[in-house]
């Protein structure tokens, strides 16, 4: 599936081809920390088909829970995470962060990985009351 997207400030844009049948929710503790939320959602790139259209990415290399070294690519201006890939140039998952993909509403995750690290309340999201917009917290 061909997709396009970019960062929050618009400095970084890209196009890519992903496999929508392999979109995954990742519950690893590093995705939790790096995303500043309960999990990350990634879409694997097909055969390395990622093209940066505008901007320059800054990278940070970390060791994943799996032990693999992962290069994190992000916008140097707004900090939006764009991808993670093998830092050693070898084979490995090149995963786009689904939140940066314009077609994200069409990308239902098919699997949850590193579930042993999932926060205990994640499975109960359907039971938490919802609001359609931002509440007024000043009251």
Say what the pLDDT of residue 91 is. Answer: 67
* CA distances (Å), origin 113, targets 24, 31, 83, 98: 7, 11, 17, 15
* Neighbour count for residue 110 (Cβ, 10 Å): 12
List the beta strands (DSSP E) in the chain.
2-6, 13-18, 24-26, 40-54, 58-63, 69-74, 81-86, 95-97, 111-113
H or E stretch covering 37: none
Question: b/e per residue, 54-73, with b = 16+ CB within 10 A?
Answer: ebebeeeeeebeeeeebbbb
pLDDT at 124 over 90: no
Q: What is the pLDDT of residues 29-70, one digit of tens each?
A: 888 888 889 999 999 998 779 999 999 999 999 887 678 888
pTM reported for the whole predicted model: 0.87
Q: What is the pLDDT of residues 70-121, one digit of tens each?
A: 899 999 999 999 998 888 876 667 899 999 999 999 999 999 999 999 999 9
């Amino acid at each position: 599936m061909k997709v396009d997207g970019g960062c929050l400030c618009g400095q970084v844009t890209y196009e890519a081809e992903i496999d929508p049948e392999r979109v995954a929710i990742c519950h690893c503790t590093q995705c939790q920390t790096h995303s500043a939320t309960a999990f990350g959602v990634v879409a694997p790139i097909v055969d390395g088909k990622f093209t940066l259209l505008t901007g320059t990415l800054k990278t940070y290399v970390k060791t994943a829970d799996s032990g693999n070294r992962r290069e994190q690519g992000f916008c140097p201006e707004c900090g939006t995470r764009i991808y993670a890939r093998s830092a050693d140039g070898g084979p490995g998952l090149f995963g786009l962060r689904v939140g940066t993909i314009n077609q994200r509403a069409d990308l239902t995750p098919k699997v949850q990985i590193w579930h042993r690290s999932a926060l205990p309340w994640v499975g109960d999201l359907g039971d938490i009351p919802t609001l359609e917009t931002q509440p007024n917290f000043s009251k």
